[in-house]
């Protein structure tokens, strides 16, 4: 090796900092061993540090405290106040904390926990349809930013609506607000998350590494190490920043609950919780809005001729699913994620309903538990990021590690079917769960999104992340209905965990067959095939 070549290689090591890859050089090849040229995608503006900061600041505002924590708790609280003890319609649910609290729902009588799970399932069904439409829309033209703005406005308006809904007689309105708040929040999460691969890919150091790869100075695997490093870095730090916002909102909310003497009566408890939802919403508005003015204009592919924006999403969706024949690693990951998302999301909702009953809907105690959850989440995300960075663990293996900790969660809840000593029956267990969730489960949200970006074709993030979110919501549609039916049949809340344990184990096994290198090759083949078809005038939509 000449002196000049050594000098170039040393310079690469400096440029990619701690991302040095020990893997052998990877040439992107097709199944016949022929080298592939890198597919061209639409050029995007360079990402600045200020833009990355504002991206994280949006998440600092949209930290899930209002729509994902306070709102579901308030809905279950109001729903239980409209119910009665099974077998004695004159006895309110608060008269017998150990009794089975039931309510009227869709012409039948169901337990409160069952109705809460059905509320979750209906909400996720609505999200499935909406996200599929918006996902295709966002990959063409300039509509991605407007989708995020529109969903943010929806979520803000719905949550502020709880200022007029704060007693048990309005639980039907709370049902609708809860469903719409979930739609707005998870929509924002989906389309906000889909942006980070593009931000990472257009950072100056990532672009510099790409140029060196194209010039033959560094290998394909070294370039992808840089790209993957910055994807993980942006994702981890943004999520940690979000949890800081979550902790601060919870701290303010504890002050509100104590100041309004929420434990004095149901009326005080209800009204103070609505004020907490309003506070979380205002926080999101203040810290989320700057992103809309600092995001750089990023133009996507042009809309294909003869196709309207109204029909595009559904046609593109069909095309995307057909593409899974070639994008086999993408399909495998989505299958694994579909199962794991079902197990986790339904387990969280089921544990939450049990926790609310155990603490007798004491909003102060609930807020302290949220505070613990958020605080440990910051530590957990940074701990997992340190672990990955120090030991150079792949995104795939970090995802599998998270899957293991997630599987242990419903397994512990299932044990409560046969004993009251453990299984979320005691207050101390729920404190422990919130700490465990923050430290060992919350990092999953970072690595599941980053893993999706690893197996997603470049420039197709919005539609594939929309499928990613839709699969999450579709799975979360199945889980609540199945668990609700099991609970109704057995009369035991903990039996609902049985189905969830099974699908978490199946997800864990399937994730072991994921391969990031194969995913990159398949994605590049997919993009090159697209360009070949375009060159020959073939449609990608039908």
- 438: domain CATH number is 1.20.1250.20
Same domain, 279 and 320: no
Share of the chain above pLDDT 90, in %: 41
Is a pLDDT exceeding 90 seen at residue 489?
no
State the Cα–Cα distance between residues 370 and 373, nearest whole angstrom: 5
Are 516 and 225 within 8 A, CB to CB? no
Per-residue pLDDT at 45? 84
Query: pLDDT tens digit string along 65-82?
Result: 999 889 998 998 999 888
Per-residue pLDDT at 249? 95
State the Cα–Cα distance between residues 192 and 145, nearest whole angstrom: 9
First to last CA, the chain: 51
Same domain, 268 and 364: no
Instruction: Provide the number of structural domains found in the chain.
Output: 2
Decide if 15 is inside a domain.
Answer: no
Of 105-114, 174-183, 454-463, highest mean pLDDT: 174-183
DSSP 33-53: SPBPPPPP----PPPPHHHHH
Is a pLDDT exceeding 90 seen at residue 502?
yes
Distances (CA, A) of 182 to 151, 324, 498: 11, 29, 26
Same domain, 367 and 404: yes
Are 373 and 227 within 8 A, CB to CB? no
Helix axes 3-15, 204-214, angle to 10 degrees: 150
Is a pLDDT exceeding 60 seen at residue 1?
no
Same domain, 224 and 322: no
Are 330 and 467 within 8 A, CB to CB? no
Same domain, 351 and 412: yes
- Mean pLDDT for all residues in the chain: 83
Distances (CA, A) of 68 to 182, 218, 262, 263, 272: 7, 44, 21, 23, 17
Is a pLDDT exceeding 90 seen at residue 11?
no
| Structural domain boundaries, residue 412 | 309-541
Query: pLDDT tens digit string along 375-414?
Result: 999 999 999 999 999 999 999 999 999 999 999 999 999 9
Domain boundary among 279, 298, 317: 298
Decide if 33 is inside a domain.
Answer: no
Mean pLDDT, range 364-372, rounded to an integer: 93
Mean pLDDT, range 282-289, rounded to an integer: 96
Stretch among 357-371, 465-479, 491-505 having the lowest mean pLDDT: 465-479
- Which carries the bigger pLDDT value, residue 171 or residue 509? 509
Distances (CA, A) of 170 to 75, 79, 160, 166: 10, 9, 15, 7
Main-chain phi, psi angles of 537, to 5 degrees: 75, 15
Helix axes 112-138, 171-193, angle to 10 degrees: 40
- For the record, the structure tokens of 263 come out as 């434990």
Decide if 26 is inside a domain.
Answer: no
Distances (CA, A) of 340 to 79, 138, 404, 414, 428: 29, 26, 10, 17, 27
Same domain, 369 and 264: no
Q: Are strands 88-92 and 101-105 parallel, antiparallel or unpaired?
A: unpaired
Contacts of 441 (CB under 8 A, 6+ apart): 344, 380, 402, 405, 406, 409
Nearest to 304 by CA among 542, 38, 40: 542
- For the record, the structure tokens of 506 come out as 């199946």
Single pTM value for the model: 0.78
Distances (CA, A) of 491 to 153, 291, 430, 478: 40, 47, 21, 20
Per-residue pLDDT at 6? 40
Decide if 158 is inside a domain.
Answer: yes
Side-chain half-sphere exposure of 17, counting CA atoms within 13 A: 10
Mean pLDDT, range 8-17, rounded to an integer: 37
Same domain, 383 and 459: yes
Decide if 14 is inside a domain.
Answer: no
Decide if 3 is inside a domain.
Answer: no
Q: Kindly report the CATH number assigned to the domain that includes residue 76.
A: 1.20.1250
Stretch among 21-25, 270-274, 530-534 having the lowest mean pLDDT: 21-25
The pLDDT confidence band at residue 353, using thresholds 50, 70 and 90, is confident
Q: Which strand (E) or helix (H) includes residue 144? A: helix 144-160
Is a pLDDT exceeding 90 seen at residue 112?
no
Domain boundary among 271, 298, 325: 298
Same domain, 259 and 391: no
3 state SS of 454? helix
State the Cα–Cα distance between residues 444 and 504, nearest whole angstrom: 13
Contacts of 302 (CB under 8 A, 6+ apart): 140, 141
Same domain, 334 and 276: no
- Which carries the bigger pLDDT value, residue 113 or residue 464? 113
Q: Which residue has the tokens 């069952």?
A: 114
What letter would DSSP give residue 167? Answer: S
Mean pLDDT, range 444-458, rounded to an integer: 87
Stretch among 58-62, 289-293, 348-352, 524-528 having the lowest mean pLDDT: 524-528
State the Cα–Cα distance between residues 379 and 375, nearest whole angstrom: 7
Query: pLDDT tens digit string along 201-251?
Result: 889 999 898 888 888 888 877 887 888 888 889 988 998 999 999 999 999
Domain boundary among 242, 271, 298: 298
Per-residue pLDDT at 19? 38
- For the record, the structure tokens of 333 come out as 């990951």
Is a pLDDT exceeding 90 seen at residue 282?
yes
Same domain, 326 and 278: no
Same domain, 288 and 160: yes
Same domain, 280 and 348: no
Maximum Cα–Cα distance across the chain: 90
Mean pLDDT, range 22-45, rounded to an integer: 49
Decide if 13 is inside a domain.
Answer: no
């Amino acid at each position: 090796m000449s002196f000049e070549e050594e000098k170039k290689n040393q310079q690469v090591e400096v440029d990619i900092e701690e991302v040095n890859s020990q893997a052998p050089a990877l040439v992107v090849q097709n199944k016949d061993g022929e080298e592939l040229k890198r597919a061209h995608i639409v050029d995007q503006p360079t990402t600045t540090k200020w833009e990355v900061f504002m991206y994280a600041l949006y998440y600092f505002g949209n930290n899930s405290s209002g729509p994902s924590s306070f709102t579901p708790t308030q809905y279950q609280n109001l729903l239980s106040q409209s119910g009665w003890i099974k077998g004695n319609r004159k006895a309110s649910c608060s008269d017998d904390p150990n009794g089975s609290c039931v309510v009227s729902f869709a012409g039948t009588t169901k337990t409160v926990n069952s109705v809460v799970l059905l509320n979750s399932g209906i909400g996720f069904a609505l999200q499935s349809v909406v996200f599929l439409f918006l996902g295709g829309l966002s990959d063409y033209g300039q509509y991605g930013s407007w989708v995020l703005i529109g969903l943010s406005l929806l979520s803000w308006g719905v949550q502020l609506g709880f200022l007029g809904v704060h007693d048990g007689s309005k639980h039907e309105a709370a049902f609708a607000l809860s469903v719409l708040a979930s739609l707005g929040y998870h929509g924002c999460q989906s389309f906000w998350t889909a942006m980070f691969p593009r931000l990472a890919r257009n950072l100056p150091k990532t672009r510099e590494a790409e140029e060196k790869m194209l010039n033959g100075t560094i290998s394909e695997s070294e370039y992808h190490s840089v790209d993957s490093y910055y994807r993980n870095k942006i994702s981890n730090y943004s999520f940690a920043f979000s949890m800081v916002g979550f902790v601060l909102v919870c701290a303010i909310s504890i002050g509100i609950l104590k100041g309004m003497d929420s434990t004095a009566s149901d009326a005080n408890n209800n009204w103070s919780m609505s004020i907490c939802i309003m506070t979380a919403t205002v926080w999101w508005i203040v810290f989320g809005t700057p992103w809309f003015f600092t995001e750089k204009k990023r133009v996507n592919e042009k809309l294909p001729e003869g196709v309207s924006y109204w029909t595009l999403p559904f046609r593109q969706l069909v095309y995307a699913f057909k593409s899974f024949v070639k994008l086999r690693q993408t399909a495998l990951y989505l299958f694994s994620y579909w199962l794991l998302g079902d197990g986790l999301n339904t387990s969280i909702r089921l544990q939450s309903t049990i926790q609310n009953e155990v603490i007798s809907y004491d909003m102060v105690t609930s807020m302290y538990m949220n505070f613990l959850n958020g605080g440990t989440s910051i530590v957990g995300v940074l701990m997992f990021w340190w672990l990955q960075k120090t030991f150079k663990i792949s995104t795939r293996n970090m995802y599998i590690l998270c899957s293991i900790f997630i599987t242990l969660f419903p397994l512990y809840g299932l044990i409560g079917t046969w004993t009251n000593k453990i299984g979320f029956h005691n207050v101390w267990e729920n404190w422990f769960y919130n700490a465990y969730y923050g430290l060992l489960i919350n990092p999953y949200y970072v690595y599941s999104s980053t893993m999706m970006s690893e197996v997603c074709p470049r420039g197709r993030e919005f539609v594939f992340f929309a499928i990613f979110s839709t699969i999450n919501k579709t799975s979360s549609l199945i889980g609540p209905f199945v668990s609700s039916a099991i609970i109704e049949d057995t009369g035991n809340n903990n039996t609902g965990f049985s189905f969830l344990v099974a699908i978490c184990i199946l997800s864990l096994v399937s994730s072991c067959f994921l391969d990031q290198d194969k995913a990159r090759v398949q994605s590049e083949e997919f993009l090159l095939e697209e360009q070949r078809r375009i060159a020959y005038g073939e449609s990608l939509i039908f």
